[in-house]
Amino acid sequence: MAQSGDSGVTMYAGLVIVLLIAVAALALFKFNMFNVNDLLSNSGDDRRGSIGRDGGSADGSDTGDGGEDGGENWSGEMPPADKYYKSHSEPLPKTITVTKTAGGETIEVEMCLVPQGWFIMGENDGVRSNMPKRWIWLDDYYISKTEFTNTQFYGFILADGYRKSQYWSQEGFAYIQNQVRYRGSAYIGWLPLERTNHLWGLASPRTDSDETMTLEVLESDGILGAPDCTVLVLPSNQAGTFIDVDNVGDQVNVRMKFRDEWRDIDGLDLRNDTDRNLKEEGLLHITNSEGRADLSGIRSSREYTIVAWVDGDKSNPVMGRLRRSESPFMRDGNMPVVELSWFEADACCRYFGGELPTEAQWEKAGRGTTGKLFAWGDELDMNLFLPDATGTKRHTTPHANLNRWRIKPVGSFPTGASEYGVEDLVGNVSEWCRDVYIEIPKWDERNPLSRGGAQDRRSERGSSTHDDDPQTAKLHNRRYSDPYARGVDTRGFRLVLDPATALKMAK
């Protein structure tokens, strides 16, 4: 009998062990499944991130409790309209054009009023970062009608915004000064010439048929401009005709043909030459007090050799090569400015007296008060079948530059405007927002803004011409990116102004 009892105990213990193993295996399976989903949802290029539809965290963390109710508490009833309402002595204009003068040019930005009030933010769509659906109050604000353009950003460049710390956060200015090779995008702005950091070229936001180019010559310290400096600009199709340039290491040699003989010359010889009309031909330039020279009149060529006598006309000059843009259509003044870090977009908005939109401001500008999924309604209407830039036919919508694989000038799809007149919120390029990205933020009821460290990832809203996923195109969809990330040619930004600033700038 004792032996039989021992066998029963042994059998019972064995069953318990088997059950424990099964429970542990199930728990491990679930743990691995969610972690795999997290890894998948965090994949992506350009250091961007998005949230998987299973509701898993993109970084495996829960940094708040704003979405814990899963939307079960949504009643749809709008809170009292007078809770935060502020009266005005006069009605605010629905649209306004603000101006800013920089470098002798007047930059205009069309702004649309988004009036104060409640709106529906978020959606109970099973994506944890988008939930819960909630009522949010925003005070009056103006938002730019379209994405910021090359022409508008050019105003920031002309104002030497990249050199003025008052427009930058401390982290952003340090980043620009120490880690960024050029001041602007790859299409407009100040770019160092090949071979030297003493010569910089400023590309303006125009096409090849109507463009300006400015040269900046820096002194030996590489900081200040070199005034009254002799500059030779030699188009590649002119080299060797009567003037030529070569170099051995840092030694630059300039030669000019006199009858049948080639002679070495310097900056003073160029200034004193009276036989070849070098200035009239656009080959000889003298820098102004800021160390700059207008090269707009130079002969048309894809490449130029630039020689500058930085330390005097008798010194050894510096040499660089200047190339025209390979993508002239991206330099059009009405194209959205792209390839900028969050810090650059933030600094430009500060220069114009405003800020980047918060996530809430961006979302309300498109969804209005009724919580539309898209700026024009709840249907994406991907019913067009059109060829893209390569001839490949793709499904797209008539209301937005979505899944067309080529950026277009801003305002190209007026039927996609929101009820406030704001355009391009779906497709074309995605846009930086002011918020530090928190997957499940604790949104304040009024004017919410997620704050954090200067180096934390930043919110990015909207879709681009490369997107074809209806979920990505929805205006409540959230994503993020590294604030240092440059070179993304499908991401831009837009400007937000408070009413007082907007009205003042419009006068």
Domain presence at residue 76: no
Burial label, 192 (beta-carbon count in 10 A; 0-12, 13-18, 19+): middle
Residues 246 and 365 in one domain: no
- Domain containing 37: what range? 2-41
Domain presence at residue 71: no
Q: What local confidence, expressed as pLDDT, does residue 297 receive? A: 67
> Digits of tens for pLDDT over the chain (507 positions)?
444 445 554 555 565 565 666 555 554 444 333 333 332 233 333 556 654 333 333 333 333 344 445 556 788 899 999 999 999 999 999 999 999 999 888 999 999 999 999 999 999 999 999 999 999 999 999 999 999 999 999 999 999 999 999 999 999 999 998 888 889 987 889 888 887 888 998 888 865 556 678 899 999 877 789 999 999 999 887 777 888 899 888 899 999 988 888 999 999 999 999 888 888 888 999 999 999 999 876 766 778 899 999 999 999 999 998 877 666 778 899 999 999 999 999 999 999 999 999 999 999 999 999 999 999 999 998 988 888 777 888 889 999 999 988 999 999 999 999 999 999 999 999 999 999 999 999 999 999 999 999 899 999 999 999 998 889 999 999 999 999 999 999 999 999 999 999 999 997
Residues 336 and 320 in one domain: no
Is the N-terminal amide bond of 132 cis, ω within 30° of 0? Answer: yes
Domain presence at residue 486: yes
Domain presence at residue 174: no
Give the Cα separation of 332 and 166 in Å (integer): 29
| pLDDT tens-digit series, residues 93-151 | 999 999 999 988 899 999 999 999 999 999 999 999 999 999 999 999 999 999 999 99
Residues 224 and 336 in one domain: no
Residues 433 and 496 in one domain: yes
Q: Which of 324, 345, 370 is the last residue of a domain?
A: 324
Domain count, the chain: 3
Q: What local confidence, expressed as pLDDT, does residue 72 receive? A: 65
Q: Which of 324, 357, 387 is the last residue of a domain?
A: 324
CATH (domain of 109): 3.90.1580.10
Give the Cα separation of 40 and 52 in Å (integer): 8
Residues 306 and 353 in one domain: no
CA dihedral 406, 410, 416, 419 (to 10 degrees): 160
Give the Cα separation of 279 and 410 in Å (integer): 39
Residues 353 and 320 in one domain: no
Residues 146 and 280 in one domain: no
Domain presence at residue 70: no
| pLDDT tens-digit series, residues 29-73 | 443 333 333 322 333 335 566 543 333 333 333 333 444 455 567
Q: Which of 277, 295, 324 is the last residue of a domain?
A: 324
Domain presence at residue 418: yes
Residues 345 and 318 in one domain: no
Residues 481 and 338 in one domain: yes
Residues 121 and 225 in one domain: no
Amino acid at 361: Q
Domain presence at residue 49: no
Residues 498 and 446 in one domain: yes
Q: What is the CB neighbour count within 10 angstroms for residue 271?
A: 14
Pairing of strands 292-294, 284-286: unpaired
Q: What is the CB neighbour count within 10 angstroms for residue 422?
A: 24
Residues 304 and 395 in one domain: no
Angle between helix axes 342-351 and 150-158 (nearest 10 degrees) is 70
Domain presence at residue 86: no
Spatial CB neighbours of 343, under 8 Å, sequence gap ≥ 6:
168, 169, 171, 172, 175, 176, 483, 484
Rounded to an integer, what is the distance from CA 303 to the centroid of its chain? Answer: 28
Q: Which helix (H) or strand (E) holds 48?
A: strand 48-50
Q: Which helix (H) or strand (E) holds 269?
A: helix 267-272
Among 498, 483, 505, smallest CA distance to 176 is for 483
Work out whether the CA dihedral 468, 474, 478, 483 comes out positive or negative: positive
